[in-house]
């Protein structure tokens, strides 16, 4: 998330799409209401009229899976308006802080020319060769720019050509959104392009859980950049995360494709550390680019020093060879969907589940539960006997046929231990121990620590490739201490033994250690900053609360904040300044690199987007797997032929091995289905379906349908229905509401149904799991499953 | 003078009745300030374990046992507020009879759980890991690159753990050569 929760209150227009924060992020909604009281407009875009919609100034329905068409049309509206009324937009921002003027290889071709695909597609490999998606370079190797934005190969013109196809009629045809309300939204949000105005976009899993989820967010980013909304107070993009430490667990890289601090996973061709660094460390010949990722070697070597201590020396490449290597694209090979496909094939013999419940949360639950039957052993650490722990006695199975050994380890809850968690806005907050866990339950820290000790012990007598295990540093204290581990994460100067102040001090020669470079600075010689509780909001009082806990990176509360000022360092919005160049220095938030403003010192300055090697934000994103611009594709299962092109689905999305044989078509499964969450429950349910207060509030699984569909099917509110997809079926209570309405999509009436996904067969209250219906396909870039748009049938039970 | 809460309520009720007939005493409007309404108990701050907003809460506890959990009025994000789930955090405590208290083990083809000790479980799990890892070790891939990994062990979860726990788990699994390492962020 670019900005903090409190900063929502400074917005002039809040666009909530793919999210329902009134229900799922209620504390965020309070700040929306503060903004509204100041006169801000709230826009809610959702297939269902949600609790957020109920408070919105403008509500628009859209068919699940059509966000790209919706937002691309808004971008087209803005581009057309920029050409008509440039004074309504901050042209300096667009010209100087984005790649709008950059020239692209003239051989690049887009969906307008290639019927829905970009140049370079290898259809069989489901991947692109991105050779034509690159900048044109001048004789010094610096990207060429045309600041008049007239060159037909400049990003602005290419984008204009790409988006010319997304006119209001076409958008409405795809999304089912009525044209008048759509235009009102375009006009209202485009008004935040004015100097001094700011709009933000709030999204959650409704955006990400699609075969084109990453491109949904890319579309939000492009729109936000053209409106100069990134880096400013009241602006930004809010990835409203659904778990209290999903930010931190991502930062710590419990994912197949990254190492802590967003460092790349090691692949087979990285024979030496140098090969790895050469592949991943970006370079630039532009003297104005800070190219922060040029520091890659410092972060990797410091990580290896933290993990392997004295076992990491210059002579052994700092233990680089201790890291496992993958043979290709880790996301495509080892992420969630391929993981469960591999388990189903019998490749995976042992599984750990630390506070996660795949039996309810994974897509295509019948497949994933069945895959667990093939495990030799399963270890579950949890507060409860979850559906995953109890998979061997689930309804419809006979335990005597399941050979899996299951170990269930009782864990402590959050206030029965101490440590930090990171919220969506990157605040790393300390939690104290208040009470003892029940019985013999232990903190996961102690469980993992003890497991590490035992593993080291069994490998002392030999085994396969023992070096990484025996050399791994594992000195976590007795009992294991979060304080000690947090110091290791922060890092040390190995020469002095002191905690490093921040990541600027890290070195690539083995004299510093750091377990996660973006956390470097959270705990230094002045103390543990994650415990801070100082509400002093200085100097500009925009709600940064810079002395309340600590925020990564470097306690910067609004990232990309150097785009919030003009070339002289003066804020675009002087009422809500994030940073301000005064008396030869920056004031306010921690700036993105301390470089002076561009006009003040044209030599020492650096472009504001320091994490990109070209120094500016990318409207044209060559790093994506599925194209430099977002293009509308239909979901894996859709009731219509793609009205935009002859390319039906994202040609590079991840398709599970089992998926093609279980693909539903609209003749058998005519309704679009989507899943959602409720304020009374949480995720797969163990943390709420075991609490009597919450069970009483929301005891039963239900399926929400429109009055029109209910009438057609002869179903009464509260009656029973059977829903069925190509992967599974269940019976549940029908909730007949006005919140869902049939949509007109390309001349066809489309019914959409919705359902929460919190239920399973364990806990105080039980019910069918929505994920028995969802498909084993995922996004082209992240492989997140397409939970939010699939086909099903529905009948009266 | 120490009064129980019940006695206090009785007294103030009586005072209220008296107050009707003798308003000048002022008893109804001002309950005696010297009577403690609750015992002094430990209060520590925490962060809600549900969504990603990161609201602050205050846990009141006595003798290692949670007594109450409510919104932290000083926390800038929620300013004391709580949603349905945040407000139900007390029920996550050791008072909840559904919380797991012992290590449980289910043997192959068995129909029931057995209670086990930590020492036994950790030793047995470490043995399973070694056996599975060493029997399924991939030193070189099909293109003859040295890869040193195992595809036979997978690890999921982390979004409900603390950062320090995630960090140790990430380090441990990578050092074991695990490449099927995933969690809630992916799904």
Do the interacting molecules here have an ipTM over 0.95?
A: yes
Is B153 in Cβ contact with A27 (below 8 Å)?
no
Q: Give CA–CA dist A674/A654, Å, rounded.
A: 19
Per-residue confidence band for B13, with pLDDT thresholds at 50, 70 and 90: very low
Distance CA A425, CA A448 (A): 27
Beta strands A702-706 and A729-737, pairing class: parallel
Predicted confidence (pLDDT) per residue in A184-197, tens digit: 999 999 999 999 99
Backbone angles phi, psi at A580, to 5 degrees: -155, 130
Are residues A563 and A591 in contact, defined by beta-carbon separation less than 8 angstroms? Answer: no
CA A114, CA A634: separation in Å to the nearest integer? 17
Distance from the Cα of B5 to chain A's closest Cα (Å) equals 24
Q: Quick check: B134 contacting A, CB < 8 Å?
A: yes
Looking at residue A489, what is its pLDDT?
98
Interface residue B71 vs chain A (CB under 8 A): no
- Evaluate whether A198 touches A11 at the Cβ level (below 8 Å): yes
Q: Using the beta-carbon criterion (under 8 Å), do A254 and B88 form an inter-chain contact? A: no
pLDDT band at residue B4 using 50, 70 and 90 as cut-offs: very low
Helix, strand, coil % (nearest 5) of chain B? 35, 25, 40
Q: What is the pLDDT of residue B32?
A: 56
The whole-angstrom separation of Cα A289 and Cα A141 is: 13
Residue B126: φ, ψ to 5°:
-60, -40
* Chain-chain contact of B161 with A321 (C-beta, under 8 angstroms): no
> Does B18 reach chain A within 8 Å, measured CB to CB?
no
> Which backbone phi and psi does A309 adopt, to 5 degrees?
50, -125
Residues in chain B with CB shorter than 8 Å from the CB of A519 are 163
Interchain CB distance below 8 Å, A407 and B110: no
Among candidates B161, B74, B43, B60, which has minimal Cα distance to A419? B161
Cross-chain residue pair A27–B83, CB shorter than 8 Å? yes
Rounded to whole angstroms, the Cα distance separating A782 from A275 reads 25
Residues in chain A with CB shorter than 8 Å from the CB of B113 are 408
B160/A244 CB distance under 8 A: yes
Is B72's Cβ below 8 Å from some Cβ in A?
no
Q: Decide: A417 and B163 in contact? Cβ < 8 Å.
A: no
pLDDT for A480 beyond 80: yes
Nearest alpha carbon to residue A684 among A254, A240, A385: A385
Residue of B nearest to A339 (CA): B180
Nearest residue to B152 (alpha-carbon basis) of A323, A545, A547, A334? A334
CA distance A362 to A63: 23
Element (H, E) at B130: helix B118-135
DSSP of A707-768, one letter per residue?
HHHHHHHT--TT-EEEEE-SS-EEEEEEEEESSS--EEETTEEE-EEEEE----SSSSS---
- The distance of B38 to chain A (nearest Cα, Å) reads 18
Q: Which of B151, B163, B180 to mutate to test binding with chain A, by most A CBs within 10 Å of its CB?
A: B163
Those residues with Cβ within 8 angstroms of residue A489's Cβ, 6 or more apart along the chain or in another chain: A306, A514, A515, A516, A519, A522, A523, B163, B164, B167
Q: What is the per-residue pLDDT across A370-388, written as a single tens digit (0 to 9) for each? A: 999 999 999 999 999 999 9
Q: Does B41 touch chain A (CB under 8 A)?
A: no
Q: What average pLDDT does this structure show over B141-159?
A: 98
**A336 contact residues in B (CB cutoff 8 A):** 182, 186-187
**How many Å apart are CA B158 and CA B98, to the nearest integer?**
22
Residue B27 sits at the chain A interface (C-beta within 8 Å): no
B155, two tokens: 């690890």
Res. A577: pLDDT tops 60 = yes
DSSP E strands: which ranges in chain B? 42-47, 56-62, 65-71, 103-106, 114-116, 137-140, 146-156, 178-182
pLDDT at A405: 98
Q: Which 8-state DSSP code applies to residue A687? A: T
- Long-range Cβ pairs for the range A655-661 (8 Å, 24+): A655/A126, A655/A776, A655/A777, A656/A337, A656/A338, A656/A340, A656/A341, A656/A364, A656/A775, A656/A776, A656/A777, A656/A778, A657/A341, A657/A345, A658/A341, A658/A344, A658/A364, A658/A367, A658/A776, A659/A775, A659/A776, A659/A777
Of A250, A348, A355, the CB nearest to B160: A355
pLDDT at B41: 77
Which of B42, B85, B168 is the closest to A448 by Cβ? B168
- Ramachandran region of residue A543, left (φ > 0), alpha (ψ -120 to 50) or beta? left
What was the pLDDT predicted at A534?
96
Q: What angle do CA B39, B41, B44 make, to 5 degrees?
A: 155
Give the mean model confidence (pLDDT) for residues B54-83. Answer: 96
- In this structure, the number of other CB atoms found within 10 A of the CB of residue B41 comes to 12
Enumerate long-range contacts of A276-284, CB under 8 Å, 24 or more apart: A276/A300, A276/A320, A282/A613, A283/A613, A284/A613, A284/A614, A284/A615
**Cα–Cα distance, A46 to B3 (Å, whole number):** 55
DSSP label at residue A144: P
pLDDT of B27 above 60: no
**Among the listed residues B21, B112, B163, the one whose alpha carbon sits nearest the alpha carbon of residue A448:** B163
Q: How many other C-beta atoms lie within 10 A of the C-beta of residue A110?
A: 22
Q: Which two tokens stand for residue B140?
A: 């070189």
Distance CA A656, CA A380 (A): 25
Percentage with pLDDT > 70 across chain A: 100
Report d(CA A731, CA A689) in Å as an integer: 19
For residues B172 and B170, what is the distance between their CA atoms, to the nearest angstrom? 6
Q: Percent of chain A beyond pLDDT 90?
A: 99
User: How distant, in Å, are the alpha carbons of A40, A88, A99, B46 from that of A194?
Assistant: 14, 5, 20, 41
Determine the Cα–Cα distance for residues A216 and A213; give it in Å rounded to an integer: 5
pLDDT in the model for residue B26: 42
For A239-270, b/e burial (b = at least 16 CB within 10 A) is bbbbbbbbbbbbbbbbbbbbbbbbbbbbbbeb
| Those residues with Cβ within 8 angstroms of residue B162's Cβ, 6 or more apart along the chain or in another chain | A245, A248, A414, A417, A419, A420, A421, A431, A444, A445, A482
A688, A673 contact by CB (below 8 A) = no
Q: Does B175 contact chain A (CB < 8 Å)?
A: yes
Q: Please, are residues B62 and A401 in contact by the beta-carbon 8 Å criterion? A: no
Residue owning tokens 């899996």? A404
Query: Is a pLDDT exceeding 50 seen at residue B2?
Result: no
**Nearest-CA neighbor of A30 among B90, B86, B69?**
B86
Instruction: Check A516 against B167: CB less than 8 A apart.
Output: yes
Q: Give the 3-state secondary structure of residue A553.
A: coil
Check CB contact under 8 Å for B47 and A423: yes
Residues in chain A: 797
Task: Report whether pLDDT(B24) > 70.
Answer: no
pLDDT at B22 over 60: no
Q: For A339-376, write each residue's pLDDT tens digit.
A: 999 999 999 999 999 999 999 999 999 999 999 999 99
Across A197-298, the runs of DSSP E, i.e. the strands, are: 199-203, 237-239, 258-259, 263-264
Q: State in Å, rounded, how far the first CA of chain B is from the last one.
A: 59
For residue A277, whether the previous peptide bond is cis, meaning omega lies within 30 degrees of 0, is: no
A205-248: per-residue pLDDT in tens? 999 999 999 999 999 999 999 999 999 999 999 999 999 999 99
Residue B77 pLDDT > 80: yes
Q: Of the candidates B174, B181, B166, which has an alpha carbon nearest to the alpha carbon of residue A244?
A: B166
Give the pLDDT of residue A676. 98
In chain A, whose CA is at the least distance from the CA of B177?
A324
- Inspect the interface and report whether the beta carbons of B170 and A436 lie closer than 8 Å: no
A635-652 in b/e form (b: 16+ CB < 10 A) is bbbbbbebbbbebebbbb
Largest Cα–Cα distance of chain B, in whole Å? 97
- Positive/negative CA dihedral, A172, A173, A175, A176: positive
Say whether A434 and B151 touch across the interface (CB within 8 A): no
Q: Name which of B49, B94, B165 is nearest A448 (Cβ-Cβ).
A: B165
- Identify all chain A residues contacting B84, using CB atoms and an 8 Å cutoff: 679-680, 694, 697
Chain B residues closer than 8 Å to A335 by CB: 182, 186
Count of CB contacts below 8 A, A vs B?
489
CA distance A68 to A65: 8
pLDDT in tens, A82-124: 999 999 999 999 999 999 999 999 999 999 999 999 999 999 9
Q: To the nearest whole angstrom, how far is the Cα of B13 from the nearest Cα of chain A?
A: 30
Report the SS3 class of residue A693. helix
Q: By mean pLDDT, which of A176-180, A483-487, A537-541 is the weakest?
A: A537-541
pLDDT of residue B186: 97
How far does B2 lie from chain A, in Å, by closest CA? 27
Q: B63 touching A, CB under 8 A? A: no
Q: Are B48 and B54 in contact (CB under 8 A)?
A: yes
Per 3-state DSSP, chain A is made up of helix, strand and coil in percentages (nearest 5) of: 30, 20, 50
CA gap B94, B90 in Å, rounded:
9
Q: What is the mean pLDDT of residues A729-748?
A: 96
Record the tokens describing residue A513, joined without a space: 């250690």
Instruction: With a cut of 90, say whether residue A52 has pLDDT above it.
Output: yes
Is the preceding omega at residue A534 within 30 degrees of 0, hence cis?
no
| C-beta atoms of A246 and B184 within 8 A | yes
Contact B157 A392 (CB under 8 A): no
Predicted confidence at residue A538, as pLDDT, reads 83
B109-141 pLDDT, tens digit per residue, is 999 999 999 999 999 999 999 999 999 999 999
User: What gap in Å lies between CA A583 and CA A593, rounded to an integer?
Assistant: 18
Q: Which residues of A touch B80 (CB under 8 A)?
A: none
Whether the per-residue pLDDT at B5 is higher than 50: the answer is no
Which of A389, A439, A486 lies closest to B164 in CB terms? A486
Q: For position A324, what pLDDT does the model report?
A: 98
Q: What is the 3-state secondary structure (H, E, C) of A190-212?
A: HHHHCCCCCEEEEECHHHHCCCC
Nearest residue on chain B to A788, alpha-carbon basis: B187
Query: Worst-scoring range by mean pLDDT, A331-345, A605-619, B31-45?
Result: B31-45
A776 pLDDT tier (thresholds 50, 70, 90): very high
Residues A308 and A472: beta-carbon distance below 8 Å: yes
Instruction: Return the residue of A nearest to B41 by Cα.
Output: A434
Q: Measure CB to CB from residue A245 to each of B163, B175, B182 and give the nearest one.
A: B163
Q: Which residues of B touch A681 (CB under 8 A)?
A: 85
């Amino acid at each position: 998330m670019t900005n903090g929760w409190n900063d929502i209150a400074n917005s002039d227009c809040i666009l909530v799409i793919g999210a329902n924060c009134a229900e799922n992020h209620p504390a965020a909604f309070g700040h929306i209401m503060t903004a509204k009281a100041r006169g801000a407009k709230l826009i809610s875009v959702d297939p269902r009229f949600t609790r957020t919609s109920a408070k919105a100034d403008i509500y628009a329905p859209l068919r699940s899976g059509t966000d790209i068409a919706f937002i691309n049309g808004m971008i087209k509206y803005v581009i057309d308006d920029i050409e008509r009324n440039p004074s309504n937009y901050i042209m300096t921002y667009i010209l100087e802080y984005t790649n709008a003027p950059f020239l692209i290889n003239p051989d690049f071709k887009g969906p307008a020319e290639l019927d829905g695909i970009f140049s370079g597609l290898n259809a069989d490999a489901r991947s692109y060769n991105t050779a034509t998606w690159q900048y044109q370079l001048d004789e010094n190797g610096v990207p060429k720019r045309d600041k008049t934005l007239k060159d037909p190969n400049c990003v602005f013109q290419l984008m204009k050509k790409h988006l010319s196809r997304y006119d209001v009629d076409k958008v409405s045809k795809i999304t089912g959104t009525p044209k008048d309300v759509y235009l009102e939204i375009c006009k209202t949000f485009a008004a935040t392009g004015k100097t001094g105005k700011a709009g933000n976009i709030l999204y959650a899993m409704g955006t990400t859980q699609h075969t084109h989820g990453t491109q949904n967010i890319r579309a939000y980013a492009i729109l936000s950049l053209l409106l100069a909304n990134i880096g400013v107070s009241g602006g930004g993009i809010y990835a409203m995360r659904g778990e209290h430490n999903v930010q931190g667990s991502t930062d710590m890289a419990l994912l197949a494709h990254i190492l802590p601090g967003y460092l790349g996973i090691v692949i087979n061709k990285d024979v030496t550390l140098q090969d790895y660094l050469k592949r991943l460390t970006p370079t630039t010949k532009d003297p104005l680019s800070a190219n922060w990722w040029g520091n890659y070697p410092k972060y990797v070597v410091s990580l290896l020093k933290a993990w392997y201590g004295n076992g990491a020396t210059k002579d052994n490449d700092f233990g680089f060879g201790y890291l496992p290597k993958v043979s290709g694209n880790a996301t495509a090979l080892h992420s969630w969907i391929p993981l469960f496909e591999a388990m189903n094939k019998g490749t995976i013999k042992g599984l750990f589940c630390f506070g996660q419940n795949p039996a309810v949360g994974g897509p295509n639950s019948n497949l994933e539960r069945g895959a667990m039957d093939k495990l030799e052993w399963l270890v579950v650490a949890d507060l409860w006997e979850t559906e995953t722990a109890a998979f061997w006695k689930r309804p419809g199975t006979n335990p005597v046929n399941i050979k899996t050994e299951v170990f269930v380890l009782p864990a402590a809850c959050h206030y029965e231990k101490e440590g930090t968690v990171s919220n969506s806005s990157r605040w790393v907050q300390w939690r104290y121990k208040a009470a003892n866990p029940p019985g013999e339950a232990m903190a996961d820290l102690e469980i993992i620590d003890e497991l590490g000790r035992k593993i080291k012990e069994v490998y002392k007598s030999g085994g396969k490739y023992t070096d990484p295990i025996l050399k791994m540093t594992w000195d976590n204290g007795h009992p294991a201490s979060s304080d000690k581990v947090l110091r290791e994460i922060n890092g040390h100067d190995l020469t002095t033994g002191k905690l490093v102040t921040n990541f600027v001090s890290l070195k690539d020669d083995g004299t510093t250690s750091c377990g996660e470079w973006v956390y470097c600075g959270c705990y230094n010689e002045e103390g543990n900053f994650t415990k801070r509780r100082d509400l002093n909001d200085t100097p500009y009082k925009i709600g940064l609360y810079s002395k309340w806990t600590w925020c990564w990176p470097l306690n910067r509360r609004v990232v990309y904040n150097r785009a919030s000022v003009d070339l002289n360092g003066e804020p675009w919005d002087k009422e809500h300044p994030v940073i301000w160049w005064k008396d030869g220095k920056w004031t306010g938030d921690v700036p993105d690199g301390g470089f002076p403003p561009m006009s003040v010192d044209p030599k020492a300055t650096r472009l504001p987007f320091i994490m990109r090697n070209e120094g500016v934000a990318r409207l044209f994103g060559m790093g994506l797997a599925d194209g430099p611009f977002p293009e509308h594709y239909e979901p894996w299962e859709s009731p219509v032929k793609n009205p935009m092109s002859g390319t039906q689905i994202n040609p590079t999305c991840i398709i599970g091995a089992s998926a093609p044989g279980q693909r539903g078509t609209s003749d058998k499964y005519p309704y679009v289905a989507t899943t959602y969450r409720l304020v009374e429950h949480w995720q797969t349910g163990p943390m709420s379906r075991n609490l009597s207060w919450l069970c009483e509030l929301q005891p039963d699984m239900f399926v929400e349908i429109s009055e029109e569909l209910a009438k057609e099917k002869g179903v009464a509110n509260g009656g029973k229905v059977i829903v069925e997809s190509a992967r599974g079926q269940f019976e549940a209570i029908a909730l007949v509401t006005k919140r869902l309405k049939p949509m007109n999509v390309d001349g066809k009436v489309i019914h959409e149904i919705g359902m929460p996904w919190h239920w399973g067969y364990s806990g105080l209250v039980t019910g069918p799991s929505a994920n028995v219906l969802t498909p084993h396909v995922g996004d082209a870039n992240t492989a997140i499953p397409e939970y939010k748009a699939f086909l099903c049938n529905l009948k009266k039970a | 003078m120490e009064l129980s809460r019940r006695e206090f309520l009785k007294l103030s009720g009586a005072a209220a009745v008296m107050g009707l007939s003798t308003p000048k005493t002022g008893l109804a409007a001002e309950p005696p300030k010297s009577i403690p309404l609750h015992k002094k108990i430990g209060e520590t701050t925490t962060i809600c374990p549900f969504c990603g907003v990161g609201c602050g809460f205050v846990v009141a506890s006595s003798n290692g046992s949670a007594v109450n959990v409510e919104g932290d009025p000083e926390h800038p994000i929620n300013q004391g507020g709580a949603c349905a789930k945040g407000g139900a955090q007390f029920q996550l405590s050791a008072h909840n009879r559904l919380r797991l208290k012992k290590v449980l083990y289910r043997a192959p083809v068995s129909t029931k759980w057995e209670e086990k000790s930590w020492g036994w479980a950790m030793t047995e799990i470490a043995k399973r890991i070694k056996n599975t890892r060493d029997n399924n070790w991939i030193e070189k891939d099909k293109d003859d690159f040295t890869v040193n990994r195992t595809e036979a062990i997978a690890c999921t979860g982390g979004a409900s753990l603390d950062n320090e726990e995630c960090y140790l788990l990430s380090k441990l699994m990578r050092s074991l050569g695990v490449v099927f390492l995933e969690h809630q962020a992916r799904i």
